[in-house]
Amino acid sequence: GASFFFICIYMHIGRGLYYGSYLYKETWTIGVVLLLLVMMTAFVGYVLPWGQMSFWGATVITNLLAAVPYVGGTLVQWIWGGFSVDNATLTRFFAFHFLLPFVILAATMLHLLFLHETGSNNPAGLNSDADKIPFHPYFSYKDLLGFALMLLALASLALFSPNYLGDPDNFIPANPLVTPPHIKPEWYFLFAYAILRSIPNKLGGVLALLASILVLLLVPLLHTSKQRSLTFRPVSQFLFWALVADVLILTWIGGMPVEHPYIIIGQIASLIYFTIFL
């Protein structure tokens, strides 16, 4: 379910970048906040099965907060509920996993409210009242078909291959005395994890991790073209597909061991990622 959810989210972000939807600044900003909230929910949800990868993933990621100057250590212990990841951490993460969807729901309503104020974007990037048609029944039935196909694919995966996208190590019960040889997050976090790993400094890695998401907030400010959409901008189209390829490379690198040549490839791909945006 989480994998399908993130596939839809990343496709939605890609469409927004390609067709210039980010120029609706309020809608785009709320969308980035939504992405952060969804990522937080997915992370705390990934810990709940309490397998080896869940336990050690929680240990590694929560330890990143220790890099925050002055309050880092206290913050980590507050999240853990003790001096290490334990049952208290699991209870807190379950509470977060229950409460965060309500925050996401409120942010989604705000996202739709701003979208209703500005109107939806289109591939041409042009706004013409003469060419507009009602949302219902033209788009509502189209969305219903897409929803039905997605539900069919999700149900097929959940009923026939429920463990297909799961990490094999996560079927082993959590054991704080045995560290897995290669700790990695779920595939939808791998690109950000690769950027984190590409910086040798702990604080620098955490800042790069945050910047990999927050850089989306700069996209509307860096837009200088008179054309909203990339449809009529071949150079920008090339940069967009280069970004897609770069994210795929980072996703691949994030799942690889921290060794040569993956380290240098990850560092180059991380540099390209930020260069394309800026």
Listed by start position, the domains of the chain span 1-9+19-123+133-179, 184-278
> Which one is catalytic: 132, 142, 161, 182?
142
Q: Would residue 142 show up in a list of annotated catalytic residues for this protein?
A: yes
Considering the chain, what is the average pLDDT of its residues? 89
Model confidence band, residue 115 (pLDDT cutoffs 50, 70, 90) = confident
What fold does the segment set 1-9+19-123+133-179 form as a domain? Answer: Cytochrome Bc1 Complex; Chain C (1.20.810)
Q: Would residue 246 show up in a list of annotated catalytic residues for this protein?
A: no
Q: Would residue 25 show up in a list of annotated catalytic residues for this protein?
A: no
- Choose among 209, 183, 203: nearest CA to 270: 209
> Which one is catalytic: 84, 120, 140, 156?
120
What confidence score (pLDDT) does residue 4 get? Answer: 87
> Which one is catalytic: 21, 111, 186, 246?
186
Model confidence band, residue 182 (pLDDT cutoffs 50, 70, 90) = confident
pLDDT at residue 125 is higher than 70 = no
What confidence score (pLDDT) does residue 271 get? Answer: 95
Q: Would residue 236 show up in a list of annotated catalytic residues for this protein?
A: no
Tokens linked to 52 = 């080896």
The CATH number of the domain covering residues in 184-278: 1.10.287.980
Query: SS3 breakdown of the chain: % helix, strand, coil, rounded to 5?
Result: 70, 0, 30
pLDDT at residue 129 is higher than 70 = no
Over range 216-220, report the average pLDDT.
Answer: 93
Over range 13-31, report the average pLDDT.
Answer: 90
Instruction: Provide the percentage of residues in the chain whose pLDDT is more than 90.
Output: 46
Left, alpha or beta for 173 (phi > 0: left; psi -120 to 50: alpha)? beta
What confidence score (pLDDT) does residue 270 get? Answer: 95
Q: Would residue 120 show up in a list of annotated catalytic residues for this protein?
A: yes
The CA-CA-CA angle for residues 19, 271, 194, to 5°, reads 90
Over range 178-182, report the average pLDDT.
Answer: 85
> Which one is catalytic: 12, 117, 132, 143?
143
What confidence score (pLDDT) does residue 34 get? Answer: 96
176 touches 54 (CB < 8 A): no
User: pLDDT tens digits for 221-268?
Assistant: 988 888 888 888 889 999 999 999 999 999 999 989 888 889 999 999
239 touches 276 (CB < 8 A): yes
Q: How far apart, in Å, are the Cα atoms of 55 and each of 21, 84, 175, 215?
A: 38, 11, 8, 30
Residue 109 burial class via C-beta count within 10 angstroms: exposed 0-12, middle 13-18, buried 19 and up: exposed
> Which one is catalytic: 116, 132, 156, 225?
116
Q: What is the DSSP letter of 174?
A: P
Residues 6+ apart with CB under 8 A from 27: 21, 111, 114, 115, 118
